[in-house]
Amino acid sequence: MSGYLEHVIACQGQLIEALDSRRAAAIEVATAQLADALGALGAEGALYGVEAGRVDHAMRQAQAARIRVNVLSDWTRQRIDRLAEIRCGSTATYSNKGITTPVA
């Protein structure tokens, strides 16, 4: 049954590589593959009898991907702020609700 977990770990590795390469198309493909692998893992209850070390490795991979996503999001926010400064002389703020420009 650990084949499902091994597939998740492989998909996590592909996602991390895609994030490191900063290629949007590769990130989209790797994300979809990881979602499918996680769905199969949850549907089959494949974690029963799996070594705790492998589960820990999968969790560490997930944390590594999460950190990369946060860094890339921050870099994107910084670029948006710089472009807004160039464009209108004031800093736009970015949030998960969209881009807003402070009223001057």
Say if residue 31's pLDDT is above 90.
yes
Beta-ladder partners of 100: 93
Question: Cα(27)–Cα(42) distance, rounded to whole angstroms?
Answer: 22
Say if residue 57's pLDDT is above 80.
yes
Domain boundaries, the chain: 2-100
Question: Cα(26)–Cα(10) distance, rounded to whole angstroms?
Answer: 15
Please give the mean pLDDT across all residues of the chain: 83
Question: Cα(26)–Cα(57) distance, rounded to whole angstroms?
Answer: 23
Using DSSP, how many helices (H) and how many strands (E) does the chain show? 3, 2
What is the reported pLDDT for 61?
93
Say if residue 104's pLDDT is above 60.
no
What is the reported pLDDT for 80?
86
